[in-house]
Amino acid sequence: MNKFPAKFIDMLAKEIVYMMAMKSSVSLEVNGWEQIFAKCVGAEWIR
């Protein structure tokens, strides 16, 4: 606990690049950021 996974930065960068490539408008507001962060730390995102 309180430690980021070794691949956290790689996964975060991958998610941001994916968003920039696939979506017409990129927004890292609350829901988008929460979802990406949860994926990067291996958690389940519940809205």
Task: Look up residue 32 and give its two tokens.
Answer: 């988008």
**Strand intervals (E) in 1-47:** none
Could you list the mean pLDDT of each consecutive 10-residue stretch along the chain, which spans 47 residues? 86 89 76 86 85
The pLDDT value given to residue 1: 64
Name residue 35's amino acid.
Answer: Q
Residue 44 to residue 26: CA distance in whole angstroms: 22
The pLDDT value given to residue 25: 74
